[in-house]
């Protein structure tokens, strides 16, 4: 790949300099990145069903009973982290485009050039193209729960919308945000129909009625739904053995889950949710919300509204999930909607708290460490996957093989250890180097030339 010179008066675009970074954005990104691990740890440590259904009977021997510390761990993760941190991370992805666009406009203005320079679009799409490639490698060869592929695909739709006014970005975001609710409700209704109809037909068969071919298909389809969403004992046992076994055994499970996540889940939920949050993040960046430049009363009001609306919604949904035994039909039909909507408001509460702390000037050392984690977000995200798969996967004896070996509450010890490692190593690394290793590689590929790596002492 070679660079195309723009013109003698239009120098090539360069990676963002440290002085151009918005530290509040880095701090918030660091908080979100650490919080994402509290969501993902269950999918690292257990069969994927454990994330959706903590009371699945065939999983109890692996995750432990849903009581005591295990239940408390689920409640904390569900109310504080689940979907909330991914919402913030997605919003910051959109905010990043605005930061890049504004920086480009400033450079163009300083050169007395009207509008964005011709190189910006190329840089932006090359950046996303390489992110997609990194995400695919991560998803299929390290861990299936990758979000980078979704971000790269959704991000490709943002560029033409970057100049829209905040109000229009918010309106479009709200419309997209509703789509998964409609899809989920429709899917839940379908599941309820098949369950009710299959039960009726099974009762007829038990009474001696001979079912026709279509009726038998309905019964078999419902059986497939039950086994697929409930996680049959045979499938769970097979998954546990594969993840504790060879790298290739784990790869097959990983690849199957990744395909499911990047097709069905992406179309039903991730695409709409991620894109809506990115658009909201673009609007918030334009409005100065992420740069900690709004008034203290603004953030206090936003935080109070966010928590006052979001926390009760999330708790009400959690109680409904528990009461239904985490029934999947009811989850898609209505019970999961509470956290889907409530998580956005709780995320706004989290954003407000971080911005208030940034404004106040307190916790200087903590903010510096969090900002370093956020500045190295790609490296730290990949490191989370590498560390956790090493701990939980067998890899033919190269890994520790702890998959499904500990109860739910116990695996959160790993979360605390990884948090500590990333909070310590990120500022130490950035004291010597300009970028994290993954960021350096990403920038070098994006700009088609090796970027400076070490910091130069003056």
Residue of 370, 439, 403, 421 lying closest to 143 (CA atoms): 403
* 223-234 average pLDDT score: 70
Q: Give the tens place of pLDDT for each residue, 148-161.
A: 999 999 999 999 99
Tell me what percent of the residues of the chain surpass a pLDDT of 90. 74
pLDDT at position 112 over 80: no
* 100-126 average pLDDT score: 70
Give the pLDDT score at 325: 92
Give the pLDDT score at 397: 86
Give the pLDDT score at 216: 84
pLDDT at position 14 over 70: no
C-alpha to C-alpha distance for 311 and 73, rounded to whole angstroms: 17
Q: Structural domain of residue 52, as residue ranges?
A: 18-446
Angle between helix axes 23-45 and 84-110 (nearest 10 degrees) is: 150
Domain-embedded: residue 286: yes
Taking the complete model, does pTM exceed 0.85, yes or no? Answer: yes
CA distances from residue 216 to 194, 203, 219, 221, 386 in whole angstroms, order as listed = 12, 12, 5, 9, 46
C-alpha to C-alpha distance for 258 and 26, rounded to whole angstroms: 29
Residue of 31, 146, 29 lying closest to 93 (CA atoms): 29
Domain-embedded: residue 3: no
Q: Give the tens place of pLDDT for each residue, 312-354.
A: 999 999 999 999 999 988 999 999 999 999 999 999 999 999 9
Domain-embedded: residue 407: yes
pLDDT at position 269 over 80: yes
Q: Where residue 208 falls among pLDDT bands split at 50, 70, 90?
A: confident
Give the pLDDT score at 2: 37
Asked if 94 and 278 touch (Cβ cutoff 8 Å), the reply is: yes
Tokens of 9: 């008066």
Count the helices and strands in the chain (H runs, E runs): 19, 0
CA distances from residue 245 to 240, 314, 349 in whole angstroms, order as listed = 8, 38, 42
| Residue-averaged pLDDT of the chain | 90
Give the pLDDT score at 207: 85
3-state secondary structure of 263: helix
pLDDT at position 239 over 60: yes
Q: Give the tens place of pLDDT for each residue, 70-90.
A: 999 999 999 999 999 999 999
Give the pLDDT score at 361: 86
SS3 percent helix, strand, coil of the chain, rounded to 5, is 75, 0, 25
Q: Where residue 109 falls among pLDDT bands split at 50, 70, 90?
A: low
Q: Where residue 231 falls among pLDDT bands split at 50, 70, 90?
A: low
Asked if 436 and 380 touch (Cβ cutoff 8 Å), the reply is: yes
Burial of 402 (0-12, 13-18, 19+ CB in 10 A): buried
Q: Please give the tally of structural domains in the chain.
A: 1
Asked if 310 and 343 touch (Cβ cutoff 8 Å), the reply is: yes
């Amino acid at each position: 790949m070679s660079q195309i010179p723009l013109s003698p008066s239009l120098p090539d675009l360069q990676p963002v300099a440290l002085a151009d970074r918005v530290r509040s954005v880095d701090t918030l990104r660091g908080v979100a990145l650490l919080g994402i691990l509290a969501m993902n740890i269950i999918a690292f440590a257990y069969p994927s069903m454990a994330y959706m259904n903590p009371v699945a009977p065939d999983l109890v021997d692996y995750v432990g009973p849903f009581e005591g510390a295990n239940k408390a761990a689920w409640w904390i993760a569900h109310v504080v982290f689940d979907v909330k941190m991914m919402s913030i991370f997605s919003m910051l992805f959109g905010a990043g485009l605005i930061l890049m666009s504004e920086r480009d406009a400033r450079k163009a203005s300083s050169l007395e050039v009207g509008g964005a320079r011709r190189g910006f679009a190329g840089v932006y799409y090359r950046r996303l193209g390489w992110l997609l490639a990194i995400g695919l490698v991560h998803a299929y060869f390290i861990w299936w729960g990758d979000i980078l592929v979704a971000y790269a695909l959704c991000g490709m739709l943002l560029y033409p919308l970057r100049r829209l006014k905040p109000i229009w970005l918010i309106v479009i975001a709200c419309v997209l945000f509703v789509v998964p609710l409609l899809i989920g409700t429709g899917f839940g209704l379908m599941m309820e129909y098949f369950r009710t109809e299959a039960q009726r037909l099974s009762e007829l068969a038990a009474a001696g009625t001979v079912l026709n071919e279509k009726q038998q298909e309905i019964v078999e389809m419902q059986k497939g739904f039950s086994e697929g969403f409930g996680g049959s004992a045979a499938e769970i046992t097979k998954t546990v053995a594969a993840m504790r076994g060879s790298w290739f055994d784990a790869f097959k499970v990983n690849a199957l889950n990744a395909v499911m996540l990047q097709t069905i889940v992406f179309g039903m939920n991730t695409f709409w949710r991620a894109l809506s949050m990115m658009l909201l993040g673009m609007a918030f960046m334009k409005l100065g919300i992420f740069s900690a430049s709004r008034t203290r009363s603004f953030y206090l009001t936003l935080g109070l509204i966010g928590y006052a609306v979001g926390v009760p919604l999330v708790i009400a949904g959690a109680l409904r999930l528990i009461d239904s035994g985490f029934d999947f039909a009811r989850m898609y039909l209505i019970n999961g909607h509470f956290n889907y909507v409530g998580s956005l408001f709780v995320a706004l509460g989290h954003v407000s708290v971080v911005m208030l702390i940034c404004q106040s000037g307190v916790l200087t050392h903590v903010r510096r460490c969090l900002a370093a984690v956020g500045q190295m977000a790609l490296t730290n995200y990949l490191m989370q996957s590498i560390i956790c798969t090493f701990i939980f996967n067998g890899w033919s004896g190269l890994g520790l093989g702890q998959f499904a070996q500990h109860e739910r509450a116990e695996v959160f010890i790993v979360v605390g250890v990884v948090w500590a490692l990333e909070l310590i190593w990120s500022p130490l690394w950035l004291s010597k180097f300009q970028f994290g290793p993954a960021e350096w590689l990403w920038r070098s590929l994006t700009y088609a030339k090796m970027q400076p790596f070490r910091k130069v002492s003056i």
